[in-house]
Structure 1
């Protein structure tokens, strides 16, 4: 089964429609380096032709309906909102579990999906549904569970995310892997895919859980290079070309992975911005995202195998 292609009724804005310095400013806002007021103050110099600073922020912010590829009520899927224990972390965590509806009692290769720094929003739920249509059991936890879960808007989610105890949050995702391994409907082959903050968490999990079968970090922060020798998981590293914050740390970690003989492949997508795979914002780069995603699915199928 394959996900249906996204269609739109009118041309969408892309990163090329914005000044690069504005995109850098927006990236700083998204990652909490400046607040909304700081973004608006900095964006005023880019406002023109009737587009205010607030209008620029709205234009750059996610449009979940525009990016949806698989509907939440797709009859090809079985979707459950579930809880799992995280005794070393935040207690009881919640997440979004998706399986192909026709899987029956078969055991499925399983993918843990890790969101950006806004919790389990509609885009990440859509990513989980896409993976399920490719034959995986996909599970997307919500790191914001201890604070009430994803609040429904990105600004509130970003503010809540900054309040998380990051040490406990790491334990919550470790616990998610443990919980998935014990399920009777998994083959036991677990892969991890994450985006931005979630990409960094993929790297953290591969340091802590050597028997993960595959890791795919999209533009994620890397651990201390001294940790690379602990990694045994095959990696597919997806990076944007215009992403100074993430790319600055990659060469040292790449060298450490090579020195430790960790199996990995890394791609940089020319002309892309941080977040290029997120099809809900203008930073989305369709050709690069389609290529990166096809590589991701092929890699996961190779490393996780099929149903049992």
Structure 2
């Protein structure tokens, strides 16, 4: 009988813990589609709308574009594995970030990749169709000072290149475990380049000189470097991540070019546990970049 009581007590404690971890109220994620002329069909995306979005119809919000990694989609990535809804609700409720809209586009279905290549004009789609569509269909503040971008792995590489190529469009850029350069064979334990032909096809596009983050920085003019320096940069990569070499090279190059940035190398690897733990700090960082400090820091 005593054992049964202990078991029931433990189960009740677990239920209470889950109730505390998952807010009963808050924002919601919606999985939707949008039309695209460039991509010749509908494209999937997910959107997180913060609590109060539906009721306070006069309020407009800053926006974070959050990019998934290779092998994921908008739903399989940040929505399902990244637990973005619960994390965003908690961080906003705790006063660690301002309410914001989070857009998660799909670059995995029929792709993958965030860069243009034959039959896949994804970067053009992102800037010419996706951003205008979101700003016309949601109450998003349509200026660079209220627009940020972040992403993991392949999406971290996309974050880097998009903000380096279009620094005038973003207040902040936060690449996580970014694909900056391809890992050396000795550091590529999974051998994914050899296992998956689709990866190799994407990689060929990703590492073209025009899409290589380090080359974009090295070859930037003084005027371009000045524009890049106005973006607030937050870079995070785990000490056991197989992409750490490229991120360290990025660290050294940004210092050499005197571009201000924040850099984090925490205990962790290339996995969702690490990225879930990174998202709250990203949300705080971009909130400060939006100039929203007085409205959310408690």
TM-score scaled to structure 1, two decimals?
0.58
CA distance in 2, matches of 1:95, 1:79: 10
State the 1:253 CA deviation: 2.7
Aligned equivalent of 2:231: 233
Deviations 1:187-235 (A, max 9, x none): 2311112111111111121122212111111101123423124434211
Aligned equivalent of 1:194: 151
Aligned equivalent of 1:127: 84
Contact 1:89 1:170 in 2 (8 A): no
Contact 1:108 1:137 in 2 (8 A): yes
Aligned equivalent of 1:298: 284
Counterpart selection for 1:140 from 104, 111, 117: 104
Which secondary structure state, in structure 2, belongs to the residue aligned with residue 113 of structure 1? strand
Alpha-carbon RMSD across the aligned residues, in angstroms, is: 3.3
The total of aligned residue pairs comes to 214
Between 1:231-240 and 1:178-187, the stretch displaced more is 178-187
Aligned equivalent of 1:215: 173
Aligned equivalent of 2:161: 204
Are 1:93 and 2:43 an aligned pair?
Answer: yes
Aligned equivalent of 2:205: none
Aligned equivalent of 1:242: 240
Aligned equivalent of 1:4: none
Change (3 A) 1:260 1:183: farther
Contact 1:128 1:139 in 2 (8 A): no
Are 1:179 and 2:133 an aligned pair?
Answer: yes
Are 1:116 and 2:112 an aligned pair?
Answer: no
Contact 2:66 2:150 in 1 (8 A): yes
Change (3 A) 1:185 1:114: same
Are 1:274 and 2:270 an aligned pair?
Answer: yes
CA distance in 1, matches of 2:88, 2:63: 9
Which secondary structure state, in structure 1, belongs to the residue aligned with residue 62 of structure 2? strand
Are 1:253 and 2:210 an aligned pair?
Answer: no
TM-score scaled to structure 2, two decimals?
0.60
CA distance in 1, matches of 2:141, 2:150: 17
State the 1:85 CA deviation: 4.8
State the 1:268 CA deviation: 0.4
Long gaps (5+) in structure 2: 1-10, 12-17, 93-98, 181-211
State the 1:91 CA deviation: 4.8
Change (3 A) 1:184 1:84: same
Deviations 1:145-183 (A, max 9, x none): 5x4xxxxxxxxxxxx748x97552333333433433445
CA distance in 1, matches of 2:135, 2:256: 30
Greater gyration radius? 2
Deviations 1:118-166 (A, max 9, x none): 1123451232563366211111111245x4xxxxxxxxxxxx748x975
CA distance in 2, matches of 1:99, 1:76: 9
Long gaps (5+) in structure 1: 1-8, 10-65, 148-159, 279-283
State the 1:302 CA deviation: 0.2
Change (3 A) 1:304 1:132: farther
Aligned equivalent of 2:8: none
CA distance in 1, matches of 2:134, 2:89: 15
